[in-house]
Structure 1
């Protein structure tokens, strides 16, 4: 009971930090931009300065509104540029210049890929969350089912196309084709699976409650009883024929 309480407290702390850090950064940026705009406007002569003689509370309210409006207008302007040819060319030029910087380029590219993955509709790309034995027998990794592959002849097992993401950057990973009977379905959503991956298992649902224990135990026992194939063993003729009879199903 005490251990569970500590784990729940740790999860709540991490989840709170994940919310507070972006929020605090946004507030700090808003205040910084607002103060800069106000300082710029107050440099005008008193005859032309509209803020002269205003109540301090009113000035603070204007400061807040300007701090919210300026970043929003900047985001809208960048979005407008990205939707036309000239603006897109300027943004591409800026991205190429930024990516040419050794350290900043790598950070920018990683954040860009991560945000694209988070803001895109995951439901159109990933169908369900499964567990697959990877990178070796006895170790299980979270994977997403991306499609189904049908066999060209009867008697062959149903195959699945899966994507095994990495942690904490789920924008990279490995694609694999596995038999459907070799995966274990998880009763969690795509969003919850991303929480687990992004936090390295610290934040997210209780995976133990979503895994059928008898199914996992049986699969683990079967994998331990099966001798492991050497990595340098060539593919057999039967394996090549089975692979050639698979055709990707158009969804």
Structure 2
């Protein structure tokens, strides 16, 4: 009986967690309907809410924005808008930082998380998987003696939070592992080992 119960848990728990996460994401995206005038919302038009319509609307807006700004006129309008935002004191620093991070993470030519590495962390006798993010820059590199690299150490099981470290290149071991495989290994807390 215990065996069947555990087998059932192994089947249902991942499905339940996946459904829960999707429900949260779709629910959050459905809140984007509050920006749609009341007379155009599904509740007004047909008498009830349609789950997921906000998610579809959000995805459509993101796609159309990408489509419109992927030509000369769209790029020109974006440049004008960015110049305007850079002249607003508080907005310029916030927008600039977010833009730089998003360009690095979402750009197809970016180098964020392109290489999984093994580093000694949190002390010399233990090791963890991290991601190579580049090399130290600015005034930081003037204070580091030797060759250093920047790495991101994700936390387990939530890799969206973690630590940013600068380490000597000689202490960083490059892994023959894809970033996806390394993330699965981290999220599973070492249970799903890469091939």
TM-score (norm 2): 0.48
Give the number of the structure whose alpha-carbon radius of gyration is greater. 1
Structure possessing the higher relative contact order (Cα contacts under 8 Å, 6 or more residues apart): 1
